[in-house]
Amino acid sequence: MKTHTLFLTICLNAVLIFFLASSFAQSVGVSQSNFSPQSLFHIHNTSAGQLFQLTNLNTTGGNTPTASSGFNIGIDASMNITFNQFENASMQFLTNDLARMIILSGGNVGIGTAIPSSLFSVGNSSQFQINGSGNIVALNGITISWPSAQGAAKTYLQNDGTGNLSWKSPKIAMQMINQSSIAGVAKNITVYSNSNTWGYLVESYSQTPMPACVVTDMKINIYSPNGITGNTVFTLMQNGVATSMSISVGSSATGWFSTTGSVTFAQGDLIDVRISTANSGSGSIYPLSITIFYQP
């Protein structure tokens, strides 16, 4: 079987258009020089730069377009492919006649949204966002603000409830008193006081040396009603001196009570809890536990 090949060259303003046709296929080439097109439509530039340009009545220059009009595809001197939207408008990518991805003129990229809120946004309302600094600023529609620097070893990120994240050291719990029962018999704690003065330490709980840390919380659990008339005050002590952390509990109160603060302890400082009352005489606090929490 014979085939017939036709090679036609047209020169328009120093641009050569080549038609290479046969009974099986035809190819079109566009270039400033004579070359043999290697694809059905082949554009060859004898230098780096623009290769393909799309314009219309609405792009810059209207029906007299310029080199900076519309959309351009090129190959630069480093062989990088460039897609250049010269106009102050977006680039959209569609499948099944629906927009799937968009690049706004300001550079924001959206997938599943036509109005990306950040440099990279995903979801119809930008539920997931990454800003120009590479930070995740929204996750599942929740705004997030990250610390500006790395945290210390063994720290963790804590959310303040509004999306602001900060590095925190883990809190360590230390039980100061746990008088629940001995051999199944409830053990009460006796508080002594004299008239018109605050009371004294409960029995004789020893002071405990601490590592360098910050005490942040004190929690009390009273298992059954308080046997002292009037309020009982639990005060965190540092080297035998009262700190600003204290809890006042009524005579019939039960359950959990807590306070927060910030008391800095140096290495070796002694910690204990003073339990006192303003009432004369003495009384008993029924079984309870006292726990403090500190951060190294």
Tokens of 295: 């951060």
Average pLDDT over residues 146-150: 90
Least confident of 9-18, 81-90, 98-107: 9-18
**Listed ranges 89-93, 165-169, 289-293; the one with the highest mean pLDDT:** 89-93
Model confidence at 71: pLDDT above 70: yes
For residue 277, the model assigns a pLDDT of 66
Which pLDDT score is estimated for 194?
A: 41
Please name each of the domains of the chain with its CATH number. Answer: 6-85 (no CATH), 91-168 (no CATH), 172-295 (2.60.120.1340)
More confident of the two residues 189 and 274? 274
List CB contacts of 59: < 8 A, sequence separation 6 or more.
65, 69, 70, 86, 87
Distance of alpha carbon 48 from alpha carbon 65, whole angstroms: 21
The beta strand positions in 22-171, using DSSP E, are 26-31, 41-44, 49-54, 71-75, 81-85, 91-95, 98-103, 109-111, 120-122, 128-130, 136-139, 142-143, 156-159, 165-168
CB proximity list for 142: less than 8 A, separation 6 or greater:
163
pTM over 0.75: no
Question: Which of these ranges, 5-19, 149-163, 169-183, has the smallest mean pLDDT?
Answer: 5-19
Q: Rounded distance, CA 211 to CA 158, Å?
A: 24
| Span 206-213, average pLDDT | 82
- Strands 109-111 and 6-12, how do they pair? unpaired
Task: For residue 280, give Cα distances in angstroms to 141, 226, 294.
Answer: 59, 16, 34
- Which tens digit of pLDDT belongs to each residue from 98-122? 999 999 999 999 999 999 999 999 9
Place of tokens 């199944």: 184
Please tell me the predicted confidence (pLDDT) of residue 34.
Answer: 84
Does residue 7 surpass a pLDDT of 70?
no
**Distance between CA atoms of residues 17 and 153, nearest Å:** 67
Q: Model confidence over 244-284: pLDDT tens digits?
A: 999 888 777 788 899 999 999 999 998 888 777 655 555 55
Is 222 within 8 Å of 253 (Cβ atoms)? yes
Q: At 226, is the pLDDT very low, low, confident or very high (cuts 50, 70, 90)?
A: low
The neighbour count for residue 192, using CB atoms within 10 Å, is 14
pLDDT at res. 97: 93
Cβ count within 10 A of residue 6: 10
